[in-house]
Amino acid sequence: MYAIINSINSIFRGLMLFMGTLALVFSLAGDASAAKGNLDRSFNGSGVNVSAVAGAEKAMDAIVQPDGKIIVVGGGSVNGANWDLVVQRYNADGTLDAGFGDQGKSSFSLGPLSEVANAVTLQSDGKIVVAGYFQQPTNWADYFVVRLLTNGQIDTTFGNQGVTIYSPTQTSDIPVTVVMQTVGGVERIVVGGYVSTAGTMFSVSRLDLNGQLDLTFGDQGVKNVTVGGNTDILQDIAIDSENRIVAAGSSRFDAGGGSFRDDFAAVRFTANGQLDTSFSGDGKVITLMAGHAQARAVVIQNVGGADKIVIGGFTQVGVSNDFALARYNSDGTLDTTFGANGKTYTNFTNGEEQIHELLLQNDKKIVGVGFTFTGNNRNFAVARYTV
């Protein structure tokens, strides 16, 4: 199972490094000093910032604060084996924020083996919530959630001296995303990931602001769900206008003869973590795309006053993958006003293309972010879709 962890980290490394760069571009979009589409030379003097480290680092997620500062989370390894949690903050001009942690960086070792942050979000008071995996001596992985103060120091009022470690199952559990949810006027921390028992399942869990599992949520704070396949992998979650939690990912099915098929998978939970039966009757939707398909991101799009669920990823068309989107109505049916019967595919080249992140512009247009790969060249790829 630990091999799965390494594989997932490898996939997310390139994605999140790109998303960190994208966040910087968005934060500086109002700067008219550079030609549109060119590197903004006012950002760290060159438009980029690569921070030198002793050993290796990998960025897994990033977020922009309201003041324009950029927080990047991931892991660092001095010896090339064990990884520690790393959080860095950059000023809006691209320089490391010397007032954060130790000259711009906070690094923590939570145990003798590895821990890497996969996701970050902000509380309304500016405190920084980081989620990732914690490797146990058995090589199983558990969830960790760490909260930092706005200056990058660990918030010892949260969990056990700033850290909460918990296991939704008795084997390996990998958190991949974290968001804030407000319930009854009180913020809660929702963590999404996938967990292993006999198979791999979607998992959502919720903590209160003290770092304790919220026992009113799901089944004593955690809800694990088999979507339908032999292997179900959650990749992203979003909160809709009714405070429900929408999880997106993929389900793998046995196609016989030693082969398999991956489909888009979505689950909607009520605000308190139960399956929402108003969504497709059982809270679950599996969508067959053009071929093998995996969803990587989900956003909630408001169209004409109604929530639409947009899921993005990739699907096999011919011999390679293309960008793939599906849009659903609130009841879980495909929105046939979108694309061709609720689905749309985008081919950049004759090579590999994958969406790994979805963004919504202020005008509600959808932006798919990922890569295109032809031969030995892998390039950033961005596509925008109408409402």
What does pTM read for this prediction? 0.88
DSSP 236-289: EEEE-TTS-EEEEEEEEEEEETTEEEEEEEEEEE-TTSSB-TTTTTTSEEEE--
Q: How far is CA 23 from CA 31, 43, 62, 75, 342, in A?
A: 14, 13, 7, 19, 29
Check if the beta carbon of residue 264 is closer than 8 Å to that of residue 284. Answer: no
8 A C-beta contact, residue 88 and residue 80: no
pLDDT over threshold 80, residue 87: yes
End-to-end Cα separation, the chain, in angstroms:
40
Q: Tell me, what's the pLDDT at 233? A: 96
Nearest of 200, 165, 177 to residue 1 by alpha carbon: 200
Q: What is the reported pLDDT for 287? A: 98
Q: Which of 33-42, 43-52, 374-383 has the highest mean pLDDT?
A: 374-383
Answer with the residue of higher pLDDT: 46 or 310: 310
Cα(324)–Cα(316) distance, integer angstroms: 9
3-state secondary structure 42-74: CCCCCCCCCCCCCCEEEEEEEEECCCCCEEEEE
Say what the pLDDT of residue 118 is: 96
* pLDDT at residue 4 is higher than 60: no
Between 11 and 57, name the one with better pLDDT. Answer: 57
Give the model's pLDDT for residue 23: 40
> Residue 47 has what pLDDT?
61
**CB contact at 8 A, 280 and 269:** no
| Owner of token pair 């030609």 | 35
Say if residue 346 is exposed, middle or buried (CB neighbours under 10 Å; 0-12, 13-18, 19+).
Answer: middle
- Identify each DSSP E strand in 93-159 by its residue range: 105-108, 115-122, 128-135, 141-148
What is the tens place of the pLDDT at every residue in 141-179? 999 999 999 999 999 999 999 999 999 998 889 999 999
More confident residue, 37 or 328: 328
184-230 pLDDT tens trace: 999 999 999 999 876 799 999 999 999 999 999 999 999 999 999 89
Going by pLDDT thresholds of 50, 70 and 90, the confidence category of residue 57 is confident
Nearest Cα to 154, choosing from 85, 59, 230?
85
